[in-house]
Structure 1
Amino acid sequence: MTLHQIQELFYTGLASHYTRAEIRIIFNAVAEKIVKTKPDTDRQEVSEKEMSHFSEMLEALQSGKPYQQVIGETEFYGLNFKVNEHVLIPRPETEELLELALQQLMDKTKLKILDIGTGSGIIPVVLKKHLPDAEVFAVDISPKALKIASENAKLQEVDIKFSQMDYLRTELEGQYDVIISNPPYIGLDEEADIFSGVKDFEPTIALFAPVPDALVFYRKIAEDCKILLKKGGLIFLEINQLLGAETLALFTPVLEEASLLKDLSGNDRFVVGRK
């Protein structure tokens, strides 16, 4: 069977899940993963073993599993990252968060940076790639997520200091020039509104606040800014679009400057500030 014929199977098998354009992107990613080169869909024959892999991946995709998890990797901020069921799949909004941060940090040197709730490690890895002389620390509650984060740091050849901890129950020490975070911020009352493909396959611990208060992480970060963030230090947060004003209000008392910014879709998505 040729790759072209398999591609047609994907179009048919995934028609109820994705648009044709989306299926083409997914198929190309799957095919490149299996045949190890960019596919020639007109002529290239596949082996029985490769066909078995295609069938397994198609079945997983039909179950609703995100294609990034199916192939075990994704592209983010121009870099390749490993992902699995223990970490969130990176969203475009987090690329926007990093763009906001790097715009303000690129002219600075020897920064000490803390990422809270690092997950797959995309935030600290991207920062370290662009700020090679920075000292970057990252914390997360999940050992399985930190394993992926460590692998991503190794993959991108950067040195990140990872620590496993329950941030909400931990009093951190030291001071930082930058605190950045994309913590769990979906309220339990919003669960019904979340797409099943997200709830069923991505870690709920990384999606939902662990208590009814969806702002619990932001309250802790705001309190920690009093001690952990250096004078003149910067903070960059991705937030729940429904709680923009409430999140900003937590930081205005502890920062000299604090702003609520929108993402490219026009939603309240970021709080950025300076102590």
Structure 2
Amino acid sequence: MNNEQMPFATIQEARRWASLFLQKHGREVRVADLLLEHQLSLSFSQLLAYERDSFPEQKQVWFKKAVEDHACTGVPVQHLIGKAPFYGREFTVNHHVLIPRPETEELVLGTIKKMKLKSPVIADLGTGSGIIAITLKLELSSSQLLATDLSTEAIQVAKQNADTLNADIEFFQGDFLEPIKQQPIDVIVSNPPYIAFSEQLSETVKNFDPSLALFAKEEGLAAYRTIVEQLARYKLSPSLVAFEIGHEQGEAVKSLIERKLPGYDVQIKQDINKKDRMIFAELAD
């Protein structure tokens, strides 16, 4: 960065420089606003209203570095600011957990809509940052939430989020159902790794999201097979099993459940973009 670009006299100048720099590197210019909103603790409307105000000099170094890092490496803006929104709340995220996606909000909403029990025991398998378990607990206050993950680092992030948002969750380290196989469970919900190793991903995802949470063997189906086989092996019969899936995996996951777990009515649901994205398997009455 050359000397005439520093320092920025106003917020407007900082915003203009960042937008042009990001555009030049093929990045979304909206990132400039997200970084400014975070650094200055302003909403987007406040950012526009105060754009002629001076840009605090002590905050410029971080802002410039964050813009350059994102532009040159693709590091997600959520990792730069350390948080991400989900279901109207803010969650801590880092390189140990997936960045929350809007599709997962649809999984949570669908699970809530299908909830028939007043005080269900819900297990979130592969909890990551804890977004699913925490949201379900806060939206269904009388429920009991169990959350598992193979990654101890992910569980630490999830526990931090649960503490921050005052959500009472029991966390367990282990492979999906393995650490809670002795517990009665009414509802299973999971957004497991479902991307095939052969699939091409953007550098922002491939280089910064944890591979443990992204990729699965058997063309992305291994995690579903493991969970379904655990349910059968441990003779667990939850009233509802809810999965997020890859958009081409609906029929394969539906068939897997129907073969291994007789007695379930299995439905494939599409997301807002009309792509197969969720599986809801309900135990027949």
What is the Cα deviation at residue 155 of structure 1?
Answer: 1.4
Match of 1:30 among 27, 31, 35: 35
Change (3 A) 1:141 1:179: same
Q: Is 1:207 the counterpart of 2:217 in the alignment?
A: no
Please state whether the residue corresponding to 2:37 is helix, strand or coil: helix
Q: Is 1:245 the counterpart of 2:245 in the alignment?
A: no
Q: Is 1:93 the counterpart of 2:99 in the alignment?
A: no
Change (3 A) 1:263 1:163: same
AA partner of residue 10 (structure 2): T
Q: Is 1:43 the counterpart of 2:52 in the alignment?
A: yes
Tell me which residue corresponds to 2:241. 235
Q: Is 1:138 the counterpart of 2:147 in the alignment?
A: yes
Unaligned 5+ residue runs, structure 2? Answer: 1-8
Kept after mapping to 1: 8 A contact 2:177/2:227 = no
Kept after mapping to 2: 8 A contact 1:173/1:228 = no
- Give distance in 1, aligned partners of 2:180 and 2:220: 20
Match of 2:117 among 92, 96, 108: 108
Tell me which residue corresponds to 1:263. 271
Match of 2:205 among 181, 191, 198: 198
- Give distance in 1, aligned partners of 2:74 and 2:132: 26
Tell me which residue corresponds to 2:162. 153
Unaligned 5+ residue runs, structure 1? Answer: none
Change (3 A) 1:163 1:72: same
TM-score (norm 2): 0.87
- Give distance in 2, aligned partners of 1:224 and 1:271: 17
AA partner of residue 7 (structure 1): R
- Give distance in 1, aligned partners of 2:254 and 2:212: 23
TM-score (norm 1): 0.90
- Give distance in 1, aligned partners of 2:81 and 2:264: 45
What is the Cα deviation at residue 223 of structure 1?
Answer: 2.0
What is the Cα deviation at residue 29 of structure 1?
Answer: 2.3
Tell me which residue corresponds to 1:57. 66
- Give distance in 2, aligned partners of 1:185 and 1:238: 9
Equivalenced residue count is 266
Kept after mapping to 2: 8 A contact 1:114/1:178 = yes
- Give distance in 2, aligned partners of 1:85 and 1:115: 20
- Give distance in 2, aligned partners of 1:41 and 1:9: 17
- Give distance in 2, aligned partners of 1:113 and 1:66: 31
- Give distance in 2, aligned partners of 1:171 and 1:160: 13
Kept after mapping to 2: 8 A contact 1:172/1:228 = no
Post-superposition Cα deviations, 1:47-94, rounded to whole Å, max 9, x if no partner, equal 322011111211221121111111111111111111111111111110
